[in-house]
Structure 1
Amino acid sequence: MALLLTLLWPALAAAFLLGGLVGAFAGLPRDRGTAAAGAILGAMTTVLCGFAVTGPVGGRTGLWIEIAAFCLVAYLIGCLAGAVARRQPRT
């Protein structure tokens, strides 16, 4: 796992920065539909990370699942950070 993170840090940094830009432009969800879509995406990310950690799929396909899980988590954290940084206090 540490070797995978060592080799993939440029992709993870790019996913985080791209997520930050998308989060800054889009902002936080404002209605139930987008909040529900975000919850579904979070649940799918949890399942993907579960597959990556437990490792039921081996070989090249398992590596692709792990890479996708890491990049998706970095992207979503970047989206959240960008949206929170852009949020303006209510007056």
Structure 2
Amino acid sequence: MQDPDRHFRKLGAQMSEAIAAAEEDLEESLEPETGYQARVGQLEQIKATAREQVLREMLPPPEDADSPAAPLSPEAVELAAIRRELENL
């Protein structure tokens, strides 16, 4: 890689654009009439979900991909539960 700084700036910009597009796609599934606090929670979940999807798609797997996955943090478990709730709306 001749210019790693340029490469990673470009990759970061591409990822930011992809995250924004994924957020927009996910926001289309929201119910139009939702209370303020519920909407804020939904939007935060959408941001986390979009970021997770893009990172998974655009970043290479870890070098030791044969090793078992690390256990999910409590926050990740909670986000997954919220995502399932949103999908069932």
For normalisation by structure 2, the TM-score amounts to 0.36
Relative contact order higher in (CA < 8 Å, ≥ 6 apart): 1
Larger Rg: 2
For normalisation by structure 1, the TM-score amounts to 0.35
Q: Which structure: greater helix fraction? A: 1
